[in-house]
Amino acid sequence: MAPDAVPAPAPAPAHARPGLRKIAPYWYPYTTMAKGRWLDREILEIVSTEFRDRSIEYYRYALESGVTTINGKIAKPGTIVRNGDRIENVVHRHEPPVTSRPVKILHEDQESEFIVIDKPGSIPVHATGRYFYLSLVEILQREFGYPKVYTVNRLDRLTSGLMIIGLSSSRAHVLSQEFVQGEVKKEYIARCSGEFPAEEVVVDQPLLTVDRQMGLNIVHSDGKPAQTVFTRLHYDKSTNTSVLHSHQIRVHLQYLGYPIANDPVYSETKIWGPNLGKGGIDTTPSDDRAPPVAPAHLVGTDTADSTRVPPQSDPGAETSVLPSPQLLPRETGKDIGMGSPVPLSAEAVGVITRLRNMKDEDEDWSRWRDVVFKAKGRLHPTGMPGQKLPPQNRRKRGGPAWADADKLTDTPSDEQQRQQQQSAPLTEEEALAILDPASPPGENPLLRVAPPPDAPTECGRAKQAAAQITVQEENDGALYCGECYLPLHPDPSPERLYIFLHALRYTTSLGVFETEMPEWAAKGWQWERSS
């Protein structure tokens, strides 16, 4: 839940692309207690292996900026996390847009304490990553007025369709057991690539999750038993796609050689190669690992600076920093497979590596000026009250850790005063000098001057230039956030926010529930393809 000190964000400006739902960026404090698996590890290693939203360079710059504290003291990349540590991080949260299609309540039974909804594709079920207010749980509570909701079945963010939501924990537990024990009949609609066989196809192949951060599953002999029955509804020659009725499983479709047509994971040749994983991949264990390779247009730039923070020693400090001459697991590739229940093959490692790289590359165009993090540490979170850390024996696990700065009565120590001075807001001239010392301050290029396109290919440079123009058109001429100076992204097309997979019908002990057919399942339906 969001701390009470954080107000609900305002809607995005009216010039957002049609078909999208956006909210304005807002300052948000994350607070957590150190988890057991984090103890005695560097904080950069922790965040770079636990989270996958950004590249390791992004996390290093963020930590060097000073916005993360441990027990009230600024944490650096090499800071060691100890038992009992409270970690706090203030970020200017830019939630990605979701579809403007509304969440629909299909059935409500207050007596039996559950509702049935139709979830649009692109909306995550729970707050995760960069999503909070645009998650399903928050929408149901804030916009529909349900005081508390308990999810029963889960749909991936990109998947649309039926979900059963408990209005009490006891009802949710009973319904969840039905799903776990296989007592619920689930029916899905999918649009896959190619001309699927006209006859019914049954796939019996066990599935295994080998990378939870990437949400990657493969066919593997050590996986859980899974069976999917596919029936073709129709074939569209113009798009060379088939609409199917099934009992789900994206991975089984890929295994057959008919991946979901717009699936960004299982239908991407850059990840799986020209065969797209048809027939499964090799599962022979291998210890081969390779470090991630930065995109060519970033090699040699200041954004690739991986200089370590010098070792620090402060016997009186609550936190400690150790020298780190060795590379971190994510920098060597050794972290790939750390979360897998089985040893990975070289082919599986390659798939995960390419999937990570593709996700990083999708973000990299906005890292032309990643040096903004060197300025971010001195930015003041607008409207965010000051911190006052309670005594260690009174610290709560999670929840808000914020107090009104005007009510602080303790006299700050010399160290606290020094940190406050370091965190003073930057003037426009100071921020500009950090970003581009050669730029004249009077023209305020901080927000509006575009870096020259520097992709390695002419096509890539053209896309960068087009993205700059689009961003300026969508943000009143600005290329960077006026509060945190992060580069802004162009709005995605609505067609790229979901995949052609829809939960159509569930048969449960409480009845049979279904949605309307998704529009993309109609004969002759066309969509905007990515170039």
Residues with catalytic annotation? 156
* Residue in 45, 58, 479, 38 with CA at minimum distance from that of residue 67: 58
Q: How far apart are CA 70 and CA 79, in angstroms?
A: 9
| Eight-class DSSP state of 262 | T
* Residue in 206, 207, 216, 156 with CA at minimum distance from that of residue 339: 216
Burial bucket for residue 406 (CB in 10 Å: 0-12, 13-18, 19+): exposed
Q: How far apart are CA 433 and CA 375, in angstroms?
A: 10
Angle, CA 453 vertex, CA 449 and CA 454 arms, to 5°: 130
Burial bucket for residue 479 (CB in 10 Å: 0-12, 13-18, 19+): buried
What own/partner pairs with CB < 8 Å and gap ≥ 24 does 11-19 have?
Answer: 12/97, 13/476, 15/474, 16/97, 16/474, 16/491, 17/97, 17/474, 17/491, 17/493, 17/494, 18/100, 18/494, 19/99, 19/100, 19/493, 19/494
Residue 99, H or E segment: strand 98-99
Q: How far apart are CA 210 and CA 336, in angstroms?
A: 9
**What are residue 456's phi and psi, to 5 degrees?**
-70, -15
| Eight-class DSSP state of 328 | P
Contact indicator for 301, 260 with CB cutoff of 8 Å? no
